[in-house]
Amino acid sequence: MHHKELKEFYTGERCYITELINSPVDADLSIGRARVEPGITTERHKLKGTAERYIIISGSGIMEVGGHADSEVSAGDLVLIPPDTPQRITNSGKSDLVFLCICTPGFRSDCYIKAE
């Protein structure tokens, strides 16, 4: 896929996603770019059988993973979200919060479970 073909779309999770890599040809991994607007908290959710990693590119936020205390995140931080673990992120800054979402195995919509 060429970069010019990538499209950002809004999700019910309350963020914008650009799928960079997500193909049944390589179902072991997916990579998406997420963008959360200032003051927005994404929907609490978990991914059934799928581990997720957030790599923060820009902005700042508050990350909630499972029962652990909320933690501040900013550019360069890595967050590991184990499979089946409720999570959400809040953009606590004044500019967009942008991060990569790396899923193993690759993200499928049927693994997304609302946890609110």
Helices (H), the chain: none
CA angle 22, 25, 26 (to 5 degrees): 60
> What's the confidence (pLDDT) of residue 30?
98
Asked whether the predicted pLDDT for residue 44 surpasses 80, the reply is: yes
pLDDT per position as a tens digit, 49-103: 999 999 999 999 999 999 888 999 999 999 999 999 999 999 999 999 999 999 9
The larger pLDDT score, comparing residue 105 to residue 116, is at 105
Asked whether the predicted pLDDT for residue 113 surpasses 90, the reply is: yes
Domain boundaries, the chain: 3-114
From CA 26, how far away is CA 106, in angstroms rounded? Answer: 8
pLDDT band at 10 (very low <50, low <70, confident <90, very high): very high
pLDDT band at 3 (very low <50, low <70, confident <90, very high): low
Asked whether the predicted pLDDT for residue 5 surpasses 80, the reply is: no
Asked whether the predicted pLDDT for residue 2 surpasses 80, the reply is: no
CATH dotted code for 3-114? 2.60.120.10
* Residue that has been written with the tokens 């195995």 in this structure: 105
